Chains A and B, each alone.
Chain A
């Protein structure tokens, strides 16, 4: 956006009424423009870095996900500035460990669940303002500037992936993950890292533990580690029956 230039050539005492109004308008534009820009471009601006030729995804090997390990959860909390839950009913949880027992066989497994970054995300469909949006590379995000806090996305999400911020945020915030009372948030797939060529914090932490239960990569690239693993072994999506085609898939579930 091109902003009108401020004129400093005349001394204030020499300004006529028209100059004064003009400079006032320019000052107002400079003050308001950043906010207006964010309002106006919202998701599109945040999507600018997204490459439509890619689709980012995760593969989680349930057999390698240890029940006692929550390194990915801690890493996400630290990376994105949400505190580990003290009040599990109201505190945000971008990623969580879930223990499962197979009703038919009694087999016990543990896994992590987070936003599944669906190809057909119900949260995006229901959001009245378009605050919930999907980038061209498949990452589903919330535009914090236009979320009105209606929580319809939380009603629509089959994965309980979203949290509503119930009270004032007192902890230090990360510049890449702004948080505010009265809005909804969820896993961003560490979009700030991905756009810089990195991997999500959870995957990095999981690899560091030696468990290696999480693989991150481009689902559209047949040569990526994740695509090769998906091609070689059976995997499943949570609530596959809904046809949402999530970007997060599970192995050995």
Chain B
């Protein structure tokens, strides 16, 4: 076992090509933002019924994945699992980058993004949104300090552990806040539930780890650095457990909601009659994002193949997007029950399932957030000593 050496990644041909590609997506997103700013949200698919659209799906996925990406560092620092320690720097960097990407999308979709300063200076503390502004900014500060303690020479192990512990508690609070954006909405039958917070936490475990595995395998491959198959297998099995947890919490959510007669409508909508939302739920979230990845990583022989683990990660990301889409858009598409016991109709779409067709600018804005997160991660690895040169099983102490 040699000494663990962290080195900046080189700007080789593949890395530069990836950087150009990300730059194109970021520029396209900038164009989309100007277009939406100029014309207003009329050029999006959003309307007075579906008030949060595709940008929110991207933003929430990225913000949720951000706190989950920090898990690898937490497992090393807080729970003392040494094989994960060399991955901790990347874990912290990726967490901050994903949050930055998600917040950029969220802010640029505001009706008045030019008033961001208002959001930063005027707070209504009964709003979980206002609390989240603190939680997000605090996350950058705390994870930044955590990363510093990991990278600074001569830093005592206790300092790293303390920073890691604070970051771990903070990331749990942050995702609780994100889930509570929905959980505390009393009026909407798709949301109003305390389970939204823990559901979002397990979603963050799965999405964050999936993105982490993809970034790690891509970067080690294109920079010719070793990545031990046993270490990767360990990450893959952990992903499988997280995917199972998401399915468990989803099952509890829907079983509970189904038990309440008043929620029969929304449950039938999501689980059987909702068209695209039903398809995205069963095929997207459950099968593609849950069962297939679990089968891939827990397969007795195939589960140790890097290709299986990478594919499982891709599927968890796709299933994750499907899940967030069903939660955000599906939850709004089902009509509000403003007049219980009555069938309602009006010029304002009372009583009918609401339409939503995402537009290209919305998609480009969302993809821009993903590209920004990856670009920050790549840039961070290029200028800082984030990634170890040798992550072989022998070197990380993986048995």
Q: Is the CB of A99 within 8 A of B115?
A: no
Q: Is the CB of B344 within 8 A of A98?
A: yes
Given contacts A96-B348, A99-B344, A148-B116, contact A158 B41 (CB under 8 A): no
Q: Could you say which residues of chain B place their CB within 8 Å of the CB of A183?
A: 111-112
Instruction: Identify the stretch in B95-103, B305-313, B334-342 within 8 Å (CB) of chain A at 4 or more residues.
Output: B334-342
Question: Which one of A39, A130, A162, A168 lies within 8 Å of B124 (CB-CB)?
Answer: A130
Q: Is A234 located at the chain interface by the 8 A CB criterion?
A: no
Q: Is A156 located at the chain interface by the 8 A CB criterion?
A: yes
Closest to A156 in B: B185
Encoded as 1 (CB less than 8 Å from any B CB) or 0, chain A from 139 to 153 comes to 000000011111110
**Which residues of B (352-374) have their CB < 8 Å from a CB of A?**
355
Q: Is the CB of A148 within 8 A of B341?
A: no
Q: Is the CB of B345 within 8 A of A148?
A: no
Q: Is the CB of A166 within 8 A of B347?
A: no
Shortest Cβ distance from residue B348 to the other chain A in the assembled complex, whole angstroms:
5
Q: Is A15 located at the chain interface by the 8 A CB criterion?
A: no
Q: Is A165 located at the chain interface by the 8 A CB criterion?
A: yes
Q: Is B256 located at the chain interface by the 8 A CB criterion?
A: no
Q: Is B397 located at the chain interface by the 8 A CB criterion?
A: no
**Which residues of B (173-193) have their CB < 8 Å from a CB of A?**
181, 184-188
Shortest Cβ distance from residue B22 to the other chain A in the assembled complex, whole angstroms:
27
Shortest Cβ distance from residue A9 to the other chain B in the assembled complex, whole angstroms:
38
Instruction: Identify the stretch in B46-54, B195-203, B235-243, B290-298 within 8 Å (CB) of chain A at 4 or more residues.
Output: B46-54
Q: Is the CB of B127 within 8 A of A127?
A: yes
Q: Is the CB of A125 within 8 A of B127?
A: yes
Given contacts A156-B187, A168-B40, A239-B340, contact A148 B347 (CB under 8 A): no
Closest to A147 in B: B112
Q: Give A1 to B199 CA distance when docked, in angstroms.
A: 50
From A90, A124, A184, A242, name the one whose CB has the most chain B CB atoms within 10 angstroms: A90
Shortest Cβ distance from residue A71 to the other chain B in the assembled complex, whole angstroms:
15
Encoded as 1 (CB less than 8 Å from any B CB) or 0, chain A from 161 to 205 comes to 011111110000000000001111000000000000000000000
Shortest Cβ distance from residue B128 to the other chain A in the assembled complex, whole angstroms:
7
Q: Is A81 located at the chain interface by the 8 A CB criterion?
A: no
From A97, A100, A168, A184, name the one whose CB has the most chain B CB atoms within 10 angstroms: A100
Question: Which one of A90, A152, A182, A242 lies within 8 Å of B112 (CB-CB)?
Answer: A182
Q: Is the CB of A88 within 8 A of B348?
A: yes
Given contacts A127-B127, A155-B52, A164-B48, contact A88 B347 (CB under 8 A): yes
Q: Could you say which residues of chain A place their CB within 8 Å of the CB of B188?
A: 155
Given contacts A128-B127, A155-B188, A166-B42, contact A113 B338 (CB under 8 A): yes
Encoded as 1 (CB less than 8 Å from any B CB) or 0, chain A from 9 to 45 comes to 0000000000000000000000000000001001000
Shortest Cβ distance from residue B133 to the other chain A in the assembled complex, whole angstroms:
7
Shortest Cβ distance from residue B54 to the other chain A in the assembled complex, whole angstroms:
14
Q: Give A152 to B48 CA distance when docked, in angstroms.
A: 12
Chain A interface: which size bin? 35 or more
Q: How many A-B pairs with Cβ below 8 Å?
A: 173
Shortest Cβ distance from residue A157 to the other chain B in the assembled complex, whole angstroms:
7
Q: Give A238 to B342 CA distance when docked, in angstroms.
A: 12
Q: Is B79 located at the chain interface by the 8 A CB criterion?
A: no
Q: Is the CB of B342 within 8 A of A126?
A: no
Closest to A42 in B: B122
Q: Give A129 to B342 CA distance when docked, in angstroms.
A: 35
Q: Is the CB of B122 within 8 A of A155?
A: no
Q: Is A68 located at the chain interface by the 8 A CB criterion?
A: no
Question: Which one of A166, A182, A242 lies within 8 Å of B110 (CB-CB)?
Answer: A182
Closest to A243 in B: B186
Shortest Cβ distance from residue A109 to the other chain B in the assembled complex, whole angstroms:
8
Given contacts A103-B341, A104-B341, A164-B41, contact A152 B347 (CB under 8 A): no
Q: Is the CB of B336 within 8 A of A158?
A: yes
Q: Is B214 located at the chain interface by the 8 A CB criterion?
A: no
**Which residues of A (90-146) have their CB < 8 Å from a CB of B?**
90-93, 96-104, 113, 122, 124-130, 146
Q: Could you say which residues of chain B place their CB within 8 Å of the CB of A241?
A: 340
Question: Which one of A100, A124, A160, A162 lies within 8 Å of B342 (CB-CB)?
Answer: A100
Q: Is the CB of B346 within 8 A of A96?
A: yes
Q: Is B399 located at the chain interface by the 8 A CB criterion?
A: no
Question: Which one of B129, B185, B355 lies within 8 Å of A150 (CB-CB)?
Answer: B129
Q: Is the CB of A149 within 8 A of B349?
A: no
Q: Give A90 to B349 CA distance when docked, in angstroms.
A: 11
Q: Is A85 located at the chain interface by the 8 A CB criterion?
A: yes
Shortest Cβ distance from residue B192 to the other chain A in the assembled complex, whole angstroms:
10
**Which residues of B (18-74) have their CB < 8 Å from a CB of A?**
39-42, 46-49, 51-52
Q: Give A101 to B350 CA distance when docked, in angstroms.
A: 12
**Which residues of B (113-144) have their CB < 8 Å from a CB of A?**
113, 115-116, 118-119, 122-124, 126-130, 133
Encoded as 1 (CB less than 8 Å from any B CB) or 0, chain A from 201 to 238 comes to 00000000000000000000000000000000000001
Q: Is B343 located at the chain interface by the 8 A CB criterion?
A: yes
Given contacts A97-B347, A128-B119, A150-B111, contact A167 B40 (CB under 8 A): yes
Q: Could you say which residues of chain B place their CB within 8 Å of the CB of A125?
A: 126-127
Q: Is the CB of A126 within 8 A of B129?
A: yes
Q: Could you say which residues of chain A place their CB within 8 Å of the CB of B41?
A: 90, 164, 166-167, 182
Write 20 A-B pairs (CB below 8 A) sorted by A numbering. Answer: A89-B48, A90-B42, A92-B48, A93-B48, A96-B347, A99-B344, A102-B342, A113-B346, A128-B123, A128-B127, A128-B130, A129-B124, A147-B111, A150-B110, A154-B51, A162-B48, A165-B111, A166-B40, A166-B42, A166-B46
- Told that A127-B129, A181-B40 touch, could you supply 9 new A-B pairs with CB distance under 8 A? A39-B118, A100-B342, A100-B344, A126-B185, A127-B127, A148-B110, A156-B185, A160-B48, A163-B48
A-binding residues in B (CB < 8 A): 39-42, 46-49, 51-52, 110-113, 115-116, 118-119, 122-124, 126-130, 133, 181, 184-188, 332, 336-350, 355
B-binding residues in A (CB < 8 A): 39, 42, 85, 88-93, 96-104, 113, 122, 124-130, 146-152, 154-160, 162-168, 181-184, 238-239, 241-242
